Structure 1
Amino acid sequence: MTRDDRYKLFGVYVSEPVFDALEAYLYESAGVVDYEGYFDPSDAGVPVGDPGADATDRLVSDVVAEFAALYDAADFAAARAVDADAFILAQLAAEPRTVTRARERFQAAATIQETDSRTVHTAILAAALEGDPDLELEE
């Protein structure tokens, strides 16, 4: 269990272009140079104040807040077209309650779309990272 001063890590499977967009987002938002090795999934949590963790917390919080709009904007067909072996595990850090809300929304979307979590993670995060000004995602 994490304390209030730590973010919880959780993994999402995304396509390579979405992973690259996450990497660019973290570089621009927090100066993270090596996103792939930045978070250690064996850690109990990441301290609040860590620049990369703060950036992913903002992103995940925005995704949760704007999930309905992102769902409508998501290209699920393109995400379904990704080869099953081509998904990459990306670690994100967020406040524990936000992680729970994100997981619930991703699972509900997977159920509605009758697809797997990888497809939903990819489609929703791609929509978020495309920077649609109507979604007003903060950076």
Structure 2
Amino acid sequence: MTADDRYKLFGVYVSEAVFDALETFLYEEAGVVDYGNYFDPSVSTLPAGDPGADATDRLVSAVVAAFATLYDEADFEAARRVDADAFVLAHLAADPQTVTRARERFQAAATIQETDSRTVHTAILSAALADSGPLEE
């Protein structure tokens, strides 16, 4: 956490199915009813203690920690088949250092896969939110 206990808000582009899985995750973990309108994209930081921000921080931290496993489990081909106009912007909040590490890993995966970030965001987060994924252990 930062010295002033604030999370950094950042966006990822994901398929509608992954957005729905994020919405379910936030409802179950933090009671967030309307994920699409929960985070205000006009702010860049959120205070620790915000239930949705705390939940997404745990999620992003788990994704960073399990990234290699998630990369191996990710279905990049399915993510590539998502229509380009079907991706939606999802906002997540996490510790600023965790955000940096997540962005670096997503970018590296995009380079290795020779694809765009939205494909990687979708594939990795889909693997992370799957019932049998490493986040359920």
Into which bin does the TM-score normalised by the smaller protein fall? over 0.9
Query: Paired residue for 1:98?
Result: 98
Asked if structure 2 preserves the Cα contact closer than 8 Å seen for 1:60 and 1:98, the reply is yes
2-structure distance, mates of 1:22, 1:56: 9
Structure 2: 5+ residue stretches without partners: none
**AA partner of residue 28 (structure 2):** E
User: How many pairs does the alignment contain?
Assistant: 136
Q: 1:129 aligned to 2:101?
A: no
Secondary structure in 1 matching 2:90: strand
Identity score, percent? 79
**AA partner of residue 73 (structure 2):** A
Asked if structure 2 preserves the Cα contact closer than 8 Å seen for 1:62 and 1:138, the reply is no
**Aligned ranges for residues 1-139 of structure 1 at < 5 Å?**
4-132=4-132, 135=134, 137=135
1-structure distance, mates of 2:118, 2:20: 16
C-alpha displacement of 1:131: 2.7
Q: Which runs of 4+ in 1 moved over 2 A?
A: none
**AA partner of residue 132 (structure 2):** D
C-alpha displacement of 1:41: 1.2
2-structure distance, mates of 1:57, 1:35: 15
**AA partner of residue 74 (structure 1):** A
2-structure distance, mates of 1:81, 1:107: 19
C-alpha displacement of 1:4: 3.1
Structure 1: 5+ residue stretches without partners: none
